[in-house]
């Protein structure tokens, strides 16, 4: 079985598991405890924080460990917006219609519960944002601009630096969802005030993640209790998880350039072969600004779910889009926002390749062609 759903989750890397084990067995203490076992855990937690901060280009004190990308996005969007409302009367949020559900639902929560107004800046047919359109959407009472670095369904990459610059000129905090970008794109030097990452996208366990948020940005916590994470995220810290996240992130960062270059070649060859073999295939997302390991298509006249079942029969596992919206019969909100009709959007299939892939994907393209032909009869 060939697993090509790595945007949904990845296996834990052996090096990560090895790094975590001492803090699950011997040095398992609570890092707030004042004894040898607790102090060893606290030291490891601090070192993990410094390691993550280096990759993000932030200070160690800027890193808040979370349970994953969803919590990090919730903390950033709600935490920054509510703090801005409490301290300055802000009541407006800017985002896009193609974001991960954890951003869209957080923004909707702000609207329903806290009375915020929301502006969704439209994207073009490839899923790209126009910085000028973002600038036009910003207001004096905008609390936060929040958007994804790279889209989880189609792989489109945004020009984060240019978009962040227009908000920075207005003194508006910028949050970037970097969950899909980690391991493929630089996470530092973006001009963002906050960035979210998730461990299970880069070879760490599920339930690990972090929000990097610069200390000058006020942040209202979601979780209240013992005041861990400098009062920004209460709860006993998962030391082993933090060590695993730091290890996975460093490994992915060290391999990033070589992996991205190799995967881009394999991806482009795969895309070209699918488009030749399957007349109904249409590539979704921006053709020039795309994650190295993502290829997403629609196959008009089919059902995406039927194609996926046929692919699995042929030994290929992929998906129709975001696993976080699993079970939904609705067409992808991302594709709809890009101007693709509901019927065609229902035919989407996404392939996301793993770090370390070296073999040609010609056989996978052949399986795609056979699968589409089988369900089109």
Give ∠ CA 5-6-7 in degrees, rounded to 5.
95
Q: What is the mean pLDDT of residues 25-46?
A: 95
* CA 147/CA 144 separation, integer angstroms: 10
pTM greater than 0.85 (yes/no): yes
DSSP code per residue over 172-236: --EEEE-TTTTTTS--SSS--SEEEEEGGGTTSPTT-EEEEE-TTS----SS-SS-TGGGTS-S-
Q: What are the tens digits of pLDDT across the range 248-265?
A: 999 999 999 999 999 999
- Residue 167 CB-density burial (10 A; 0-12 exposed, 13-18 middle, 19+ buried): buried
Residues of CATH 3.40.640.10 domain(s) within the chain? 14-252
Q: What are the tens digits of pLDDT across the range 124-156?
A: 999 999 999 999 999 999 999 999 999 999 999
Mean of per-residue pLDDT scores for the chain: 97
> In Å, how far are 14, 206, 315 from 171, measured between CA atoms?
43, 35, 51
Catalytic residue among 324, 342, 343, 356: 324
> DSSP state, 35?
S
Tokens of 3: 């697993």
Is 324 marked active-site?
yes
Q: What is the CATH number of domain 14-252?
A: 3.40.640.10
Residues of CATH 3.90.1150.10 domain(s) within the chain? 2-6+256-375
Q: What percent of the chain has pLDDT over 90?
A: 96
Tokens of 374: 């089988």
* CA 44/CA 37 separation, integer angstroms: 11
Q: What are the tens digits of pLDDT across the range 354-364?
A: 999 999 999 99
Q: Was domain 2-6+256-375 assigned CATH 3.90.1150.10?
A: yes
Q: What are the tens digits of pLDDT across the range 219-247?
A: 999 999 999 999 999 999 999 999 999 99
pLDDT the model gives residue 273:
98
pLDDT the model gives residue 330:
85
Q: Which residues contact 149 (CB under 8 A, 6 or more apart)?
A: 157, 158, 160, 176, 177, 178, 180, 181, 185, 190, 195
pLDDT the model gives residue 321:
74
Q: What are the tens digits of pLDDT across the range 333-348?
A: 999 999 999 999 999 9
Among the residue ranges 24-38, 66-80, 258-272, 327-341, the one predicted with the least confidence is 327-341
């Amino acid at each position: 079985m060939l697993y090509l759903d790595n945007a949904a989750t990845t296996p834990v890397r052996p090096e990560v598991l090895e790094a975590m084990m001492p803090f699950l067995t011997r040095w398992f203490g609570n890092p707030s405890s004042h004894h040898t076992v607790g102090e060893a855990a606290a030291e490891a937690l601090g070192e993990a924080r410094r390691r993550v901060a280096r990759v993000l280009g932030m200070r160690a004190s800027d890193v808040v460990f979370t349970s994953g990308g969803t919590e990090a996005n919730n903390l950033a969007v709600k935490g920054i917006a509510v703090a801005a409302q409490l301290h300055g009367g802000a009541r407006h949020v800017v985002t896009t219609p193609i974001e991960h559900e954890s951003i869209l639902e957080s923004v909707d929560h702000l609207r329903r519960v806290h009375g915020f107004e929301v502006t969704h800046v439209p994207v073009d047919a490839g899923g790209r944002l126009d910085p000028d359109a973002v600038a036009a959407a910003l207001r004096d009472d905008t609390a936060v601009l929040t958007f994804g670095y790279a889209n989880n369904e189609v792989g489109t990459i945004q020009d984060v630096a240019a978009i962040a610059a227009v908000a920075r000129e207005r003194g508006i905090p910028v949050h970037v969802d970097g969950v899909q970008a980690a391991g493929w794109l630089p996470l530092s030097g973006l001009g963002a005030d906050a960035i979210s990452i998730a461990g299970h996208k880069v070879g760490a366990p599920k339930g690990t993640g972090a929000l990097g948020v610069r200390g000058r940005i006020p942040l209202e916590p979601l979780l209240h209790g013992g005041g861990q994470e400098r009062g920004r995220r209460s709860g006993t810290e998962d030391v082993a998880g933090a060590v695993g996240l730091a290890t996975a992130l460093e490994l992915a960062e060290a391999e990033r350039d070589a992996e991205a270059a190799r995967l881009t070649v394999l991806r482009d060859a795969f895309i070209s072969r699918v488009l030749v073999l399957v007349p109904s295939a249409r590539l979704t997302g921006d053709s020039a600004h795309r994650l190295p390991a993502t290829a997403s298509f629609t196959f008009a006249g089919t059902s995406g779910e039927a194609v996926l079942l046929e692919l699995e029969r042929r030994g290929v596992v992929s998906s129709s889009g975001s696993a976080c919206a699993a079970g939904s019969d609705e067409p992808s909100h991302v594709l709809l926002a890009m101007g693709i009709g509901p019927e065609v959007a229902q035919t989407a299939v996404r392939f996301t390749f793993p770090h370390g892939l070296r073999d040609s994907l010609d056989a996978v393209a052949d399986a795609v062609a056979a699968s589409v032909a089988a369900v089109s009869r």
